[in-house]
Amino acid sequence: MDMKVLFISALLGFVSHVRSKTDSNMCISANAKTCGECIQIGPQCAWCKDPGFKPSRCDDRDSLEKAGCTPLGIENPRGTVTIDKNKPVTNRKIDGGQNLRPDEITQIQPQKLTLNLRSGESQKFTLKFKRAEDDPIDLYFLMDLSDSMQNNLENVKNLGTELARAMQHITKDLRIGFGSLLEKPFIPVTPRYLKNPCFSNNCTAPFSYINVLNLTDDTALFTQEVSKQKPSGNQDSSEAGFQAIMQAAVCTEVIGWRNVTRLLVFSTDAGFHFAGDGKLGGIVRPNDGKCHLENNMYTMSNYFDYPTISQLVDTLSENNIQTIFAVTQQFRDLYQELSALIPKSAVGTLSTNPSSVVQLIIDAYNSLSSEVILENSKLPAGVSISYISHCKNGVSEKGENGRKCSNISIGDEVMFDIEITAKGCPSKGKSETIKIKPLGFTEEVEIVLNFICKCECHKDGVPNSPECSGGHGTLECGVCRCNEGRLGRLCECSQHEVLTDDLDANCRMDYGTDICSNNGECVCGTCECKKRENPEERYSGKFCECDNFNCDRSNNKLCGGHGRCECRKCICDANYKGSACDCSLDTSTCLASNKQICNGRGICECGVCKCTDSKFQGSTCEICPTCPGVCTEHKDCVQCRAFGTGDKKDTCEKECSYFSLIIKKKKEELPQPNDQPYINHCKERDANDCWFFFTYATKNDGTVEVHVAEELGSACDCSLDTSTCLASNKQICNGRGTCECGQKRDDRKLLGGERGAGSAKDLETGIELGSP
């Protein structure tokens, strides 16, 4: 191959490589002015702090080294993960058996980490969770004491002793408490209900919520206090359950919650009021979500409205409380819908069986504790987190399902891979702390996030450096950071000499455009255009509004390869035009066989004929499928090939092989006008004066296709079937005539069933003819 051709090919390949590299190089295109800006673009970007370095200081590490930056001059900080607290999960066989206090039990590991995050570079770590053996449990029983719950109240009186006995295999450290609820004590119409809402029965005056018994391990005291309780009543079917749950959750010290597994059993045979229902009693202040218990009684019932559902969900989650709704069958569906909104909650059905409450609680606890769901606190803007779970039996999940594992038994271990990524410089570089915890558990993992927003070389800046126009800036990481009042790459411009507004205005085309068209820097009122890595590509113009690489393309080539790009507009070579120089002015491709352009019936545009005479088609306007005479011209050839008749039947093979023939039964089966281009429908008479039908079409590749209907037209009902012309000797017309349209014909006019047979008569004389 010619060496010159090889050289040109190699050069074009290099230019193409450089161009594609620039287009995809975010480090350069971001036009970072400082090392901090550079490293925030992405983990692939590094900064060269060497003095006098001319190429782009912000680029990938390999490119900087190839451009001459010294290895020590490259700033490229990386993120890290440091484990600060890593206490192993509890194994009672090793860690002291039953002698551990609740605060000595560990179910998640590690407990504290520090992450140094660089923009776009994720940091990964793994959390281990182990469901502890003999985990302490606090259980608070919150019961609706409306009159209709009398039977269920009897079942709860011995709950403490029976529950402690039944849960021995789960925990030996169980504390139990009791609270009662009813409704907001306001009845605007009949105040006498406030004293005895049950009328004939003697019941307690209505109340909102009372903490009857703090959490205790004294099961006898639980039985004693619950036995003292009497039912009450209210005037609507719904209760103040949300209000009571809120107080039981937030009044941590009053209830006596420990940092252990917390269960709240809510028992009722009614629905619930929520935010907005307080308006019925003139209560419009939103619930504040704070503890308001005085002498164990909720005192702000007539001041604050009921909580919202979202308030309740957040409060239970923040206080690590797992909720069990023990309700009657009538309201099971309602509380199932509520439970779907509250993580780590379950629903059970009350029955008249006294032991059913105990079994309901145990079943619900096993269901809740067998699933671990990780939840993180609110993330700073620009920070994202993802989870991958590694559960029992090799099951792994991603996305939202990556936060949880199910069917975990006591003593089982599961793992979670966690990935945290920052974008840019969140929180302006200030450290943030987030927490991850398993829902329903009090343990949590603390994660300190430090954001890498500056380079180490920032610490070595030289204030008032002579390199910055004689001391007008700090030389930092190889570039000048100008003092207040100075501008420019080397701080060479004084802001006092020209107003900032005027300075910017001189660098804008108009008020609605970016400074230097966002393609350069305004230095003392003059645009200095950005440099491109590819020296063949450049910005230009007073406002850097022009470039030579953003013109229209054709066939993936700038200006179609037939022009040059000037200020984002193609200047085409001779014989080309168009926005991408993709329209050729050469008319040789439009010459017809008669050497006329487009056969004299069209115009040549961009090397392609556009026919101005609608009758003519084709690449050079020479095809006229609808011109008169097409059908007549090809009639004889169609007739001889389809039916073996006509003037050309003897020369058919020689003269009529220029088209492909397709036979159809009926004319209705012939192609329709829209089936293919250049189609012509024909109807012609044969020698017997019968109509026959065919279509004549020139396809896109220039070949001709003819479809013929086998059935002839009704003008003579002419049939091609010769069976009606067979004589008794099996000869057509007894060998003395021809069969035309299924009829026998002879040179003589004959009469009879077999013309030419012995029984025939002369048609003119009527004389019967003899046998042959």
The full DSSP string for 62-85 is HHHHHTT--GGGEE----EEEEEE
**pLDDT tens digits, residue range 325-371?**
999 899 999 999 999 999 889 998 888 776 778 888 888 888 888 89
The answer to whether the beta carbons of residues 270 and 146 sit under 8 Å apart is yes
Quote the pLDDT of residue 675. Answer: 61
Does residue 616 surpass a pLDDT of 90? Answer: no
Helix (H, G, I), strand (E, B) or coil at 158: coil
The answer to whether the beta carbons of residues 388 and 397 sit under 8 Å apart is yes
Does residue 447 surpass a pLDDT of 50? Answer: yes
Q: Residue 406 carries which DSSP code?
A: -
Cα distance between residue 650 and residue 701, in whole Å: 30
**pLDDT tens digits, residue range 91-123?**
876 665 556 777 788 999 999 999 999 999 999
Q: In terms of Cα–Cα distance, which of 262, 242, 239 is closest to 252?
A: 262
Among the residue ranges 20-34, 195-209, 356-370, 389-403, the one predicted with the least confidence is: 195-209
Confidence band of 158 (pLDDT split at 50, 70, 90): confident
Quote the pLDDT of residue 513. Answer: 76
Confidence band of 24 (pLDDT split at 50, 70, 90): low
Confidence band of 192 (pLDDT split at 50, 70, 90): low
Query: Which CA distances in Å does 292 have to 296, 391, 686?
Result: 9, 42, 109
The answer to whether the beta carbons of residues 631 and 619 sit under 8 Å apart is no
Quote the pLDDT of residue 109. Answer: 94
Quote the pLDDT of residue 95. Answer: 60
Quote the pLDDT of residue 169. Answer: 79
Does residue 746 surpass a pLDDT of 60? Answer: no
Q: Is the dihedral of CA 185, 143, 316, 346 positive or negative?
A: negative
Does residue 423 surpass a pLDDT of 60? Answer: yes
Quote the pLDDT of residue 728. Answer: 81
Cα distance between residue 565 and residue 229, in whole Å: 91
Confidence band of 749 (pLDDT split at 50, 70, 90): very low
Quote the pLDDT of residue 676. Answer: 58
Does residue 315 surpass a pLDDT of 70? Answer: yes
**177-203: average pLDDT:** 65
Q: Which residues make Cβ contacts (< 8 Å) with residue 727, sequence separation at least 6?
A: 733, 734, 735, 754, 756, 757
Residue for token digits 């996305």? 399
Quote the pLDDT of residue 283. Answer: 87
Helix (H, G, I), strand (E, B) or coil at 751: strand
Q: Which residues pair with 397 in a beta bridge?
A: 389
Quote the pLDDT of residue 674. Answer: 65
Does residue 188 surpass a pLDDT of 60? Answer: no
Quote the pLDDT of residue 214. Answer: 96
Confidence band of 469 (pLDDT split at 50, 70, 90): confident
**pLDDT tens digits, residue range 515-567?**
888 888 877 778 889 888 887 889 999 999 999 999 999 888 999 999 999 99
**15-38: average pLDDT:** 69
Does residue 758 surpass a pLDDT of 60? Answer: no
Q: Residue 595 carries which DSSP code?
A: S
Tokens of 396: 């792994």
Cα distance between residue 514 and residue 504, in whole Å: 9
Quote the pLDDT of residue 7. Answer: 43
The answer to whether the beta carbons of residues 171 and 136 sit under 8 Å apart is yes
Confidence band of 760 (pLDDT split at 50, 70, 90): very low
Does residue 170 surpass a pLDDT of 60? Answer: yes
The answer to whether the beta carbons of residues 629 and 682 sit under 8 Å apart is no
Tokens of 13: 């390949």
**pLDDT tens digits, residue range 572-590?**
998 899 999 999 888 888 9
The answer to whether the beta carbons of residues 684 and 691 sit under 8 Å apart is yes
Residue for token digits 């066939």? 555
- pLDDT averaged over every residue in the chain: 83
Quote the pLDDT of residue 524. Answer: 78
Cα distance between residue 478 and residue 51, in whole Å: 5
Among the residue ranges 334-343, 494-503, 667-676, the one predicted with the least confidence is: 494-503
